[in-house]
Structure 1
């Protein structure tokens, strides 16, 4: 937490994936602008912030201090549970060997970086330099090969499907559907009947996957960047 001369908190969070996020807790616009400009002057670039898509005043204030829209995320509530397709097996959360999980995760990330770009993914809270927490991941296999994964956090309160990723060679074969269906079923067995998922509005395959589950849009977020 950083403090400005106006004693208004400027909360700076440096995420494990390298992105720096700024938030300002100020109601008065002049105080916000003064605080934000001072905080931004001290930050490495690029710096990011997230604003609710309905907060027009907030968006305007951030833009006035040099931030510009970078991308948008739609927030969905997902509840249906279609059956996994034939030929796909999903290992339970926490069951995959950490070395296998890390290998698959690295392959997925490399492919995403080469295509869509990892910066288009929801903000990553996983430190790629450390071991992944296998308890948050379920892994899909086909013919003994790891082909995709899903990450779910907050399973006891507000479950969040933070990542669904399938290797390029296995896409459009129902693996993503199987992973989400498995995650929802696991949550249902714990007494939870829905999950939240944020989807980049420029990621058409992910939006299509959400639509297969009749996901209900429940607002959205705008990510802004100051370069």
Structure 2
């Protein structure tokens, strides 16, 4: 090791020591523990995938979670459903959609499906069993007015138990939902293979 390398290492160690002290002081002030309302939105891929990562973390820690899917249909074969069904004691999976709105082409039917899913979602949010609830693509049904936005926002703001985590996914999250959320992440689209003619692939999109 040269003298230059040794001097660089000493400077690095001193810098990291100060950095650690600052981080330790910052973390010492973070003492609150609460259930979070989390929103994943934006045009980029990964909203549901990131939310499912939190579901898997809960399962790994032995903490019960629930997943209510608002647009996916029960006959769709998805990787998350195949995996989550292996842990029925730790994950409640409710696949309650009927496909995308451009497939059903029936607003009354879409609204009925959204209502059924929302009523079930409220049940698992209010119960004493599940620690985390994922409302997959709830933003989509709110975008198309399949559920009253004010009803959903009021419930999540006023009735969600203090210790319960709730994740909402889907593009075009409503500003009213973003306003009451604790954590909001927007996925930004930079490149997507679909634009180059590549179809949805098993293990990547589903």
The two structures share one fold, judged by TM-score above 0.5: no
User: With structure 2 as the length reference, what TM-score do the two structures score?
Assistant: 0.28
Structure number having the greater strand percentage = 1
Structure number having the greater helix percentage = 2
